[in-house]
Amino acid sequence: MRIAIASGKGGTGKTLVATNIFYILSERGEKVTLVDCDAEEPNSKAFFNTKEISESQVIQKVPVIDSDICTFCGKCVDYCSYNAIFLLHDRRIVRVMEDLCHGCGACLVACKMGAISEKEVSLGTVSKYSVNSESTIIEGKMRVGAYTPVPVIKASIKKSNNSEIVILDSPPGTSCPFIHTVSSADYILLVTEPTPFGLNDLKLSVEIVRDMRKPFSVIINRAGLGDRGVYNWLETEKIPVSMELPFNRDLAAIYSKGEIVSAVRPDVKNKFEMLTDSVLTIWK
Ligand code: SF4
Ligand code: SF4
């Protein structure tokens, strides 16, 4: 079962939820993998003592244009949907802007002169760490300057295939990285906070997961902060709330020290135990 922990905005507590569910399952001896899909800024690993098992590069092919063969016809430019090829016909200049290239290969098909070959570039890394004999963390990390973290996210999720339970710590927002993460999930927990910002971004993410026809529920973090807007909207939309975590300075302090809240606060652990059981019940 793949459970995605997602949110329409950053800073709502996705990693807090993902790491605590992982901790609970890991303590129970389940075969579980936590995949940190926030490839621009992964940090789930920081909460555990880990040992690195492997690291692999995520490779993409990008075109290389031989300007001695090129006739500067511009066909490759027309085929490239990502504006990744720069051409000045009169000055006989053609360049591939590698950071914009999506590696789709369309320019190779376009060029009838055989002026285009390919080379491999790294988009980032996927690292695997063991926490204990049954539980592992997979961390995707994109290369600074790469156009998107999506290939790294896909490679990270693929690496978790042999695990019975996979927790996906989704990147923030509702753009491609979020969509690619939640689209591979069997169940989605959307984390929000009871503020107007939280409500706005929750509405966006709910719209997407409903379009995908994925089962989901909502976790309200920092309950007690803000207003009743999120609660009223969830009630109107008949969306279930799986758990509430209070707005509490102690919890924030524990989390900011890089500690698992469930490991030091039995009341919070109890909440995460119940949350984990309720999600797994859907699966089993
Ligand atoms: S591989 Fe695709 S994205 Fe890259 S330059 Fe060629 S057409 Fe553009
Ligand atoms: S299609 Fe081929 S020949 Fe034409 S501009 Fe592109 S690389 Fe040059």
Report all structural domains of the chain as residue ranges with CATH numbers, in order of start. 2-58+123-283 (3.40.50.300), 67-114 (3.30.70.20)
pLDDT at 147 (0 to 100): 79
Per residue of the chain (284 residues), give pLDDT as tens.
Answer: 999 999 987 788 999 999 999 999 999 999 999 999 999 999 999 999 999 999 999 999 999 999 999 999 999 999 999 999 999 999 999 999 998 898 999 999 999 999 999 999 999 999 999 999 999 999 999 998 887 899 999 999 999 987 899 999 999 888 899 999 999 999 999 999 999 999 999 999 999 999 999 999 999 999 988 889 999 999 999 999 999 998 989 999 999 999 999 999 999 999 999 999 999 987 66
Amino acid at 109: V
Q: In what order do the strands lie in the sheet with 165-169?
A: 51-65, 116-130, 135-142, 32-36, 165-169, 2-6, 187-192, 216-223, 241-246
Q: Provide the strand spans (E) within the chain.
A: 2-6, 32-36, 51-65, 85-88, 93-96, 116-130, 135-142, 165-169, 187-192, 216-223, 241-246
pLDDT at 272 (0 to 100): 96
Contact 264, 254 (CB under 8 A): yes
Distance CA(263)–CA(167), nearest Å, equals 18
pLDDT at 284 (0 to 100): 66
Name the residue of 93, 94, 117 to mutate for ligand 2: max ligand atoms within 8 A of Cβ. Answer: 94
Q: Is 96 in the pocket of ligand 1 (CB under 6 A)?
A: yes
pLDDT at 273 (0 to 100): 97
- Ligand 1 centroid–CA 39 distance in Å is 23
Which amino acid residue places its CA nearest to atom 8 of ligand 2?
A: 70
Beta bridge partners of 192: 220
- Ligand 1 centroid–CA 104 distance in Å is 5
Any residues with Cβ below 6 Å from ligand 2, and which?
65, 70-76, 87, 94, 110-111, 113, 115-116
pLDDT at 206 (0 to 100): 96
